[in-house]
Amino acid sequence: MKKTLLFILAAVATTTGMAQAVVSLDSCRRMALHNNKAIRIAEENIRGAGYARDAARAAYLPGIDFSGGYVHNQRQIALLGEDAKLPTMSFDPKTMSYNYNILMGPDGKPVTNPANGQPIPSEVAVIPKEAMTYDTRNVFFGAFTLTQPIYLGGSIRALNQIAKHGESIARSLKDVAEQDVLLSVDEAYWQVVSLVEKRNLAQSFVNLVDSLRQSVVDMKEEGVATKSDVLNVDVKYNEACIMLTKVENGLSLSRMALAQICGLPVDSQMILSDEASENLEADMTIPVVNMQDVYARRSDLEVLRKGIDLMKSKENLSLSAMLPKLAAFGSYSFSNPNVNNGFEKKFGGGFSVGAMLTVPIWHWGGNYNKFRASKSQTAAQKLLLEDMEEKVSLQVSQAQYSYNEAFKTYDMTQHNMKSAQENLQNAEYAFKEGVLTTDDVLAAQTAWLKAKSEVIDAQIAIRLCHTYLSKVTGSLK
């Protein structure tokens, strides 16, 4: 927290009126990493993946739920349509058993019902209809339930592995985003430095042509040069001024682009530490690259490797659908009215515990085909990783060749610069002696300008090639 506060204060001091701050390449990198929106998005994705991992871990623990409700019924429940008349029995000591109380006729035989031929009881027990009618028009109910997974076919473990790999992938994607930002910062930074050097070069060229123009004007007054010579030099001087203006405009735009990448206002006034460097020559040797180390360091390849692990976990998740599942549960349920002690118009309930086993038997190959689809996705991810490793190998080779070529180009531009400098000195001396014309001097000055510009481009190219090689080898941190 303290470091973040100090960083913000430094950034504010940079963007306000406390003079123009001198910033280094590392400072620009830190500001860009701190303010870049893509990196902040990646950080949020990491945070979200962590929450998903915690959610998957919670599946191991028992869950407690409550459910409740209210039901309004139009009618009451009546178990009897009318009063019920039940026959009674009396104990006969002679037979030592209970016998129905039957109505006996004068002949000593039971009197039967003409409708159905059944004996008519002499006594009955009456159950009124109202006694078996219950008021269920307003029913309240609820239940607390605890569920503990015991074995779900390995699905919980697979979900935890998926969440873990997802978080690792999110972290690797953040590394990829950081490396992209660092590369863009380096490109913008050295673009500014390059244009500063070219602005100084353009100003030197303007001064050089202006000095020649003054000499030609003096020679014209002495009758040595012609008006055509003066006009020719004037045209070249105007071209040099236009070139200087274009370089200054490009430099202003490049500074704005660098400030935007660093997360600062585009009108921020920054002086780069390498602007004042008189020599941009980089003493950098071509590193020896071990491709196995490159594969291990590359964050984008790590994303693919974690993707393979994630796909394998999805295979296990698909396999769990074909395995038995066992869970234990306990609950406390209650209702009003309740039937714990007859029918009571008040809340009452009780506990219950149990276990549930589910065994998949036949689903017409649906679950098995899902499992095979997951295995195919894993195989495709492995092939993608192999393809990316081959492309990375080619990418590293190309970066090494470009780095080596940048050094060779720089050596050639240094040689050309010495030749152009010597040629310019000879041309100026010969012009003063009257041996060469203004066209010859202008051509020598233009050649010197081109050679010096190529030297600047070669110096910047070496640094950019070094940054790019660091990125493709996974060592740009």
pLDDT band at residue 10 under the 50/70/90 scheme: very low
pLDDT band at residue 20 under the 50/70/90 scheme: low
Integer Cα distance of 383 and 380 in angstroms: 5
pLDDT, tens only, 411-432 = 999 999 999 999 999 998 998 8
pLDDT, tens only, 106-163 = 877 888 878 777 888 878 888 888 878 888 889 999 999 999 999 999 999 999 999 9
SS (HEC) of 19-83: CCEEECHHHHHHHHHHHCHHHHHHHHHHHHHHHHHHHHHHHHCCEEEEEEEEEECCCCEECCCCC
Distances (CA, A) of 108 to 8, 26, 80, 88, 411: 116, 122, 35, 19, 141
Q: What percent of the chain has pLDDT over 90?
A: 64
Give the pLDDT mean for 263-279.
82
End-to-end CA distance of the chain: 22
Indicate whether 43 pLDDT > 90. yes
Position 18 scores a pLDDT of 35
**Paired tokens of 160:** 């935890």
Give the pLDDT mean for 219-233.
84
Is the backbone of residue 432 left (phi > 0), alpha (psi -120 to 50) or beta? alpha
Cα torsion 130, 136, 140, 146: sign: positive
Assess whether the previous peptide bond of 337 is cis (omega < 30° from 0): yes
SS3 353: strand
What distance lies between CA 442 and its chain's CA centroid?
A: 57
Give the pLDDT mean for 207-214.
91
Higher-pLDDT residue of 270 and 49 is 49
What pTM was computed for the model? 0.79
Domain boundaries, the chain: 2-35+153-323+363-472, 89-136
Integer Cα distance of 421 and 59 in angstroms: 77
Integer Cα distance of 81 and 393 in angstroms: 89
pLDDT band at residue 15 under the 50/70/90 scheme: very low
Indicate whether 12 pLDDT > 50. no
CATH superfamily membership of 2-35+153-323+363-472: Outer membrane efflux proteins (OEP) (1.20.1600.10)
Tally the C-alpha atoms within 13 A of residue 274's C-alpha that lie toward its C-beta. Answer: 23
Indicate whether 276 pLDDT > 80. no
Indicate whether 9 pLDDT > 90. no
Q: At what angle are helices 37-57 and 155-221 packed, to 10 degrees?
A: 170
Share the mean pLDDT of the chain.
88
**For 20-29, 35-44, 271-280, which range has the lowest pLDDT when averaged over its residues?**
271-280
Give the pLDDT mean for 364-371.
93
Give the pLDDT mean for 231-254.
94
Indicate whether 332 pLDDT > 70. yes
Give the pLDDT mean for 166-170.
95
Q: Where are the alpha helices (DSSP H) in 298-365?
A: 299-320
Beta bridge mates, 142: 68, 334
Indicate whether 352 pLDDT > 90. yes
Integer Cα distance of 160 and 167 in angstroms: 11
